[in-house]
Amino acid sequence: MEDDEEDAAQPEFMVRRSTLRKSESRIDDLDIRFFKSYLNDVLSDQKDLFARGTLPLQDEPADSLFNACKDGFLLARVINFAVPGSVDETKLHSKPRHVLKQAENLGIVLTAAREAGVRMSNIGPNDILTGNATVILGMIWQLIKMCQAVHNPDLQHRLNESVQLLKQKDQELEDQRRRIATLEKDLQTATSKVGDLNLHMERSETLRLEQSRKQKVELDALKTNCQTVEERNRELESMLEARDAEIRLLREQLMQATATINNSNEELSKANASVFAKDEQILELQSELARQGTMLEAKQQEHAMQIQECDTALQKMKDDHHQQQTELSVSKSDLQLNKSLSMSSFSEEDLMVRNRKLIEKNAMLIKKLLAANAEIAGRDKLEESVKQQTDSFKTALVELQSKLDAHEMPPSRALEP
């Protein structure tokens, strides 16, 4: 709202190219020269500013106005001219050559300007030191309006009327520019659409001609295909007649084959009955084989136990035989001892008795040895008998297995080791 009110009160030179307008950023040299001329006229009696070299403000260079505002004295005199007594110049540094002192002076001046009624938003000393044209000219313009209101009210009133009129003209010009820009955009859009339409028509015509050419080629190919199809149909008709004859012949052969298959089925039924009978025989043979295998396993276990008993008895007999041989050797040694003693101390009768006892003892040992030999011979015969029985059982199992193999049955588990 504040910016709009300021724009409404600006004169022609500010309305045309004002830096306070948000849509423009260029400062017209004519505007700057006007500000310089006005300040030279208003402050023409400030001899100390002329002595400091601040005044008069020259047209060249263009930024001389901004440089003159850096020490704060020019802005202070303008503020005091608009609102007397606003700035206490005794608080300002008289020769602020350093930037910090210049910033202090500008801080005092900006504070006094706000108190005097100058509208400023986020404006600081740095804006003045960097020569921000928008800020400086806007502030000076507000001070000029305040000066006009104080020293020449009629001129201020006429100036405001002129500003309003110029504002309206400027708005009309802006509206015309917008309408012209809109018309130019519409013209460009229409031109683009016309170009697209022409391009589309050219592409459509090219596509239509291409389609016509393709349709003609396809029609010629279709005619050729129709002739080929007619010839193919005639060939197929002749082939169908030959195929019908073959089908009739195949039907007759099929009837004959059906009769043959029926006869084969009867024979197959008979063969199946025979196979079923053989299967029953095979099952009987398998059960017999299993029974024989069980008997063989029982016999083998029994023979194994008998052999184990015989081995135990044989070992015992061997131990007894060894003991008897030991005793016989002792008897022989005793006999020899008796013979040697008979030559010395024993009487003939004692020797006879002693020899008789030894002979009897040896006879008993000989009988035991003979009995042990007889038992060993009996064990050998028993082993031979067991071996013969085992061989006979194995032979019977082999015969049963050969019968099963003749009937193409899997081998029995009875022959597995």
The per-residue pLDDT for range 203-253, each reduced to its tens digit, is 888 988 988 888 889 888 888 888 888 888 888 888 888 888 889 888 888
Read off the pLDDT of each residue in 100-110 and give the average, rounded to a whole number. 93
Q: Which of 110-119, 163-172, 177-186, 270-279 has the lowest mean pLDDT?
A: 163-172
pLDDT at 183 over 80: yes
Say how far apart CA 77 and CA 84 lie, in whole Å: 9
End-to-end CA distance of the chain: 117
170 within a domain of the structure (yes/no): no
pLDDT of residue 158: 58
Report percent pLDDT > 90 for the chain.
Answer: 9
More confident residue, 2 or 72: 72
Q: Which of 205-219, 344-358, 390-404 has the lowest mean pLDDT?
A: 344-358
pLDDT of residue 347: 61
Summary mean pLDDT of the chain: 78
Tokens of 197: 């339409």
Return the residue matching tokens 């206490």.
Answer: 88
Domain boundary among 95, 128, 151: 151
pLDDT of residue 64: 87
When mean pLDDT is compared over 64-78, 170-184, 310-324, the highest value belongs to: 64-78
pLDDT of residue 9: 41
Closest CA to 44 of 62, 59, 27, 56: 56
Q: Model confidence at 19, in pLDDT bands (50, 70, 90)?
A: very low
Q: How many domains does the chain have?
A: 2
pLDDT at 11 over 50: no
382 within a domain of the structure (yes/no): yes
Q: Model confidence at 345, in pLDDT bands (50, 70, 90)?
A: low
380 within a domain of the structure (yes/no): yes
Domain boundary among 125, 151, 177: 151
Backbone angles phi, psi at 85, to 5 degrees: 80, 10
Domain boundary among 135, 151, 167: 151
pLDDT of residue 99: 92
Q: Model confidence at 104, in pLDDT bands (50, 70, 90)?
A: very high
87 within a domain of the structure (yes/no): yes
157 within a domain of the structure (yes/no): no
pLDDT of residue 195: 85
pLDDT at 25 over 70: no
How many C-beta atoms lie closer than 10 Å to residue 127's C-beta?
Answer: 18
Read off the pLDDT of each residue in 310-329 and give the average, rounded to a whole number. 75
Q: Which residues contact 6 (CB under 8 A, 6 or more apart)?
A: 20, 119, 138, 141, 142
141 within a domain of the structure (yes/no): yes
pLDDT of residue 299: 76
pLDDT at 21 over 60: no
Q: Model confidence at 103, in pLDDT bands (50, 70, 90)?
A: very high
84 within a domain of the structure (yes/no): yes
Domain harbouring 80, CATH code:
1.10.418.10
CA dihedral 164, 166, 168, 174 (to 10 degrees): -140
Q: Which of 91-95, 157-161, 330-334 has the lowest mean pLDDT?
A: 157-161
Domain ranges, residue 75? 2-151
pLDDT at 30 over 70: no
Say what the pTM is: 0.35
Report percent pLDDT > 70 for the chain.
Answer: 81
321 within a domain of the structure (yes/no): yes
